[in-house]
């Protein structure tokens, strides 16, 4: 059965790598991709030809103005999410915005406020939240199977391009481990434990001035902790643990992808092993949630509501404050408090 009824029409804003992954998952699972837009008509036409998309637009403005498009997937680099999302919302389009949602919490609040004012959906494309194994994992925790959750441990470490001019290493393009990789374990900690009361962060920086590796401890008033870390120049197993008073959940490599997990009792015995094959990469589930919200006339769901997206960005703002990492987008915040 298709995840989409085919009535909602998608427009893809941006033609980079992540745009291709999302588009492929949409098409392979019965969604309707109507148009793509790029700052270059040639790039847009090439992307449309590759994926069999009917319409190629030579600008973002033309894409969001297309009357045959209902939803815009924003797949540009982080510093452009805020402007691109507002462009689409002001044209009356719902938006699915790649993570990190924006550069900071101020921008996130502006986007979510604009969506709410217009009765539109602005959903963060944290695809992991919507995968079947995460839905089941939350169910195991809610059922009390592992008792009271005491600790969440999650890593996202990859060996990525070392070129100083690469987007990941360029502060002008929101480079660094935190926004690209750290968003995953941070969002996972929020998913399981909610907003922390206190954050302690540490980082090492690259020669270009972005974070090469960052680690943080989230503390909660009930004594729970989350230990999260990310790195962009060294890989690891990238597993995740949820530790409770009556057992633990071990999410296998690579935990933020559709992978199995095992629930252990406190004595180490296996209570449950969950494994469900997923079609495509798995990015279709976040699209299905957006379409569900639109069909229901809702602007916020329970899996990742807009206010939680803003809170996640605020947590990353605090981490950046502690590790002394700032971007051009932060200058408006500083001007507002001057």
What is the tens place of the pLDDT at every residue in 52-79?
999 999 999 999 999 999 999 999 999 9
Which own/partner contact pairs does 217-222 have at CB distance under 8 Å and 24+ positions apart? Answer: 218/189, 218/193, 218/315, 220/193, 220/194, 220/196, 221/197
The three-point CA angle 141-306-64 to 5° equals 135
Instruction: Write phi, then psi, for 16 (nearest 5 degrees).
Output: -80, -170
Over residues 121-138, the mean pLDDT reads 98
Q: What is the 3-state secondary structure (H, E, C) of 114-131?
A: HHHHHCCCEEEECHHHHC
pLDDT at 303: 98
pLDDT tens-digit profile of 262-293? Answer: 999 999 999 999 999 999 999 999 999 999 99
Q: What is the pLDDT of residue 335?
A: 58
CA angle 338, 78, 335 (to 5 degrees): 5
Torsion sign over Cα 255, 291, 12, 284: positive
Query: In the predicted model, what is the mean pLDDT of residues 205-224?
Result: 98
Assessment of whether the complete model's pTM goes beyond 0.75: yes
Please give the radius of gyration of the chain, using alpha carbons only, rounded to the nearest integer: 20
Question: How would you write the chain as a 3-class SS string?
Answer: CCCCCCCCEEEEECCCHHHHHHHHHHHHCCCEEEEEECCCHHHHHHHHHHHCCCEEECCHHHHHHCCCCCEEEECCCHHHHHHHHHHHHHCCCEEEEECCCCCCHHHHHHHHHHHHHHCCCEEEECHHHHCHHHHHHHHHHHCCCCCCEEEEEEEEECECCCCCCCHHHCHHHCCCHHHHHHHHHHHHHHHHHCCCCEEEEEEEECCCCCEEEEEEEEECCCCCEEEEEEECECCCCCCEEEEECCEEEEECCCCCCCCCEEEEECCCCEEEEECCCCCCCCCHHHHHHHHHHHHHCCCCCCCCCHHHHHHHHHHHHHHHHHHCCCCHHHHHHHHHHC
Segment 144-173 mean pLDDT: 96
**Integer Cα distance of 243 and 247 in angstroms:** 6
d(C-alpha 295, C-alpha 133), whole Å: 25
- Is the pLDDT at 27 greater than 80? The verdict is yes
| Mean pLDDT, the chain, integer | 96
Q: Are 121 and 93 in contact (CB under 8 A)?
A: no
Q: Which residues pair with 10 in a beta bridge?
A: 33, 71
Banded pLDDT at 7 (limits 50, 70, 90)? confident
> Model confidence over 161-209: pLDDT tens digits?
999 999 999 999 999 999 999 999 999 999 999 999 999 999 999 999 9
Residue 177's pLDDT is what?
A: 98
Burial of 280 (0-12, 13-18, 19+ CB in 10 A): middle
Cβ contact 214:201 at 8 Å: yes
Residue 333 has pLDDT above 90, yes or no: no
pLDDT at 1 over 50: no
In the prediction, which pLDDT does 336 show? 56
Q: How many residues does the chain have?
A: 338
Q: How far apart are CA 186 and CA 100, in angstroms?
A: 11
Dump pLDDT digits (tens) for 80-94. Answer: 999 999 999 999 999
């Amino acid at each position: 059965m298709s995840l989409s009824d085919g009535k909602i029409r998608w427009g893809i804003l941006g033609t980079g790598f992540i745009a291709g992954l999302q588009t492929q998952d949409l098409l392979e699972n019965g969604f309707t991709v109507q148009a793509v837009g790029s700052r270059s008509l040639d790039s847009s036409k090439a992307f449309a030809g590759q994926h069999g998309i009917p319409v190629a637009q030579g600008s973002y403005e033309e894409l969001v103005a297309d009357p045959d498009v209902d939803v815009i997937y924003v797949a540009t680099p982080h510093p452009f999410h805020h402007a691109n999302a507002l462009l689409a919302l002001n044209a009356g389009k719902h938006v699915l915005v790649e993570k990190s949602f924006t550069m900071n919490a101020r921008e996130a609040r502006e986007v979510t406020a604009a969506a709410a004012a217009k009765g539109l959906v602005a959903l963060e494309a944290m695809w992991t939240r919507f995968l079947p194994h995460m839905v089941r994992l939350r169910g195991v925790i809610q059922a009390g199977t592992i008792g009271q959750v005491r600790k969440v441990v999650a890593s996202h470490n990859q060996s990525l391009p070392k070129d100083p001019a690469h987007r990941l290493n360029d502060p002008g393009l929101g480079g660094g481990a935190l926004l690209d990789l750290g968003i995953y374990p941070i969002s996972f900690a929020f998913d399981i434990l909610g907003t922390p009361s206190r954050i302690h962060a540490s980082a090492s920086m690259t020669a270009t001035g972005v974070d090469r590796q960052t680690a943080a401890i989230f503390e909660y008033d009930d004594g729970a902790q989350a230990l999260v870390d990310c790195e962009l120049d060294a890989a690891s197993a990238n597993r995740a643990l949820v530790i409770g008073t009556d057992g633990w959940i071990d999410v296998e490599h690579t935990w933020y992808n559709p992978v199995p997990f095992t629930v252990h009792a406190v004595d180490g015995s296996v209570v449950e092993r969950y494994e469900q094959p997923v079609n495509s990469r798995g990015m279709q589930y976040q699209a299905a949630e957006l379409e569900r919200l639109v069909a229901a006339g809702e602007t916020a769901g329970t899996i990742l509501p807009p206010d939680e997206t803003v809170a996640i960005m605020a947590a990353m703002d605090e981490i950046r404050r502690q590790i002394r990492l700032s971007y051009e987008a932060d200058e408006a915040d500083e001007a507002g408090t001057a």
